[in-house]
Homo-oligomer: A and B are copies of this chain.
Amino acid sequence: MREIKVGLIGFGTVGTGVVKCLQRNGDLIAARSGIRPVIHRIADLDITRDRGVTVPPGVLTTKADDVLNDPAIDVVVELVGGTTFAKTVVLRALQAGKPVVTANKALLAHHGDEIFAAANASGADIYYEASVAGGIPIIKALREGLAANHIQSIHGILNGTCNYILTRMENEGLAFDEVLAEAQRLGYAEANPGLDIDGHDTAHKTAILASLAYGEWFGMAPLHIEGIRHLELQDLRYARELGYKLKLLGIVKLAGRNIEIRVHPALLPVDSLLASVSDVFNAVYVKGDVVGKTMFYGRGAGMDATASAVVADLVDVGLNLKYDSSQRVSAFRPHGTYDDVVSMDDIVSRYYLRLQVKDEPKVLGAIATLLGDCGISIASVTQKEPTSGAGAVPIILITHQAREAAFRQALAQVAKLDAVRAAPTMIRIEDL
């Protein structure tokens, strides 16, 4: 039995979950793995709040230094969040040769290069299973379980708040603003929800998955990011009639030797497994060239699910300490197997397009001709009956595959038509 002394920095929701998990399941974890992680110190600015767990006297401190400078501590768990103080904590620990476990996706997405360089310089481990898709062991799956595969694509539902909002819009016919307001009242969405609903949190996780899949730490710069704030209920309804469900996806794809990385709402075939992932749940759909289609599903956030991943990382760190095998699975190993990230202009997709048009003859013909002239081929058209007094009717088009730049060019021209009465609505379609 190897006991490892854990120094926790940041005693918020996830930190509390880690302490609870180790108190409740410590014996089982030790029996199963031969490693017993024990909480040695916890640093947080607030050490008086009742978190529903009891820790021995002397464990709590308000000074991160009491963790970072304590030679007895075997591993530092960074649960501060953010990219400033958290970065200092992680770099100081790694530079001191001390392994780190973190759940901090923003930190890794923005500063992974610097952090992995520090880890590689000192040889210390940094594990980050909890940073993507919470309790789902997707990072272990990508780095180890699917190690034999060229990853052909990843489609991730990676933000529980967004998936909750889209599920309620879909199931209950509620508008985006309405669901968001209620989610905020219930504490499912932040008072400032931009990180979630504008796609940034999904993008952080997508950047990490892309980097692991393709062996280059991409950072955030190459990502195209769209959120769900602009989505309208009518498009969910029309899409559903056509056999699609709307999800916010983190998408990573191999296109030849190039790579696509993007975050945006997308329509999925309603009978696909990924489309069935609802409420706050996350899922990562991975296609490998050897294994074929796989999917990994579970809770992407929350005290306990995230703690499950942090504690699994502690066991891995503990095993590496026990066997003197730090960086056995490299924190991040760059390799030049693939080429560049392609521009959004160059992706190829099918598109859902809704136009509000004057209810008069020849409009549809003019639109179809214009799209055809731009090389955009139409797969299906639905023209809706006018609602009383509306003056404009919706036309829903599904296109065949087209290059994004060509589609956008066509769209700009369609928008200029006199008969088109509002800005067109476009949603990409992903065929899994």
23 pairs across A/B with beta carbons < 8 Å? A25-B149, A27-B337, A28-B150, A28-B335, A29-B148, A31-B336, A32-B147, A135-B294, A137-B140, A137-B141, A137-B146, A144-B316, A145-B312, A146-B308, A271-B276, A291-B304, A291-B308, A292-B299, A293-B297, A297-B297, A319-B325, A319-B328, A319-B329
Beta-carbon contact of A308 and B149 below 8 Å? yes
CA distance A27 to B147 in the complex (A): 11
Beta-carbon contact of A312 and B32 below 8 Å? no
**Nearest opposing residue in chain B for A315, CB measure:** B147
Secondary structure dominating the interface of A: mixed
CA distance A146 to B147 in the complex (A): 19
Provide the A260-302 mask, 1 if CB < 8 A to any CB of B, else 0. 0000000000010100110001000000111111111111001
Binding site for B on A (CB under 8 A): 17, 21, 24-25, 27-29, 31-34, 129, 135-137, 140-141, 143-150, 215, 271, 273, 276-277, 281, 288-299, 302, 304-305, 307-309, 311-312, 315-316, 319, 322-325, 328-330, 333, 335-337
CA distance A240 to B280 in the complex (A): 27
**Nearest opposing residue in chain B for A297, CB measure:** B295
CA distance A58 to B402 in the complex (A): 51
CA distance A386 to B182 in the complex (A): 50
Residues of B close to A308: CB separation below 8 A? 146, 148-149, 288, 290-291
Residues of B close to A29: CB separation below 8 A? 147-148
Given contacts A137-B145, A147-B33, A323-B325, contact A298 B293 (CB under 8 A): yes
Looking at the complex, which one of B28, B147, B315 makes contact with A144 (CB distance below 8 Å)?
A: B315
Shortest distance in angstroms between A199's beta carbon and chain B's nearest beta carbon? 24
Beta-carbon contact of B325 and A328 below 8 Å? yes
Looking at the complex, which one of B27, B144, B294 makes contact with A312 (CB distance below 8 Å)?
A: B144
Residues of B close to A137: CB separation below 8 A? 140-141, 144-146
Looking at the complex, which one of B24, B144, B290, B296 makes contact with A304 (CB distance below 8 Å)?
A: B290
Residues of B close to A293: CB separation below 8 A? 281, 297-299
Looking at the complex, which one of B31, B144, B289, B324 makes contact with A215 (CB distance below 8 Å)?
A: B31
Beta-carbon contact of B294 and A31 below 8 Å? no
Given contacts A25-B289, A294-B136, A298-B292, contact A148 B328 (CB under 8 A): no
Residues of B close to A148: CB separation below 8 A? 21, 25, 29, 307-308, 311-312, 315
Residues of B close to A277: CB separation below 8 A? 273
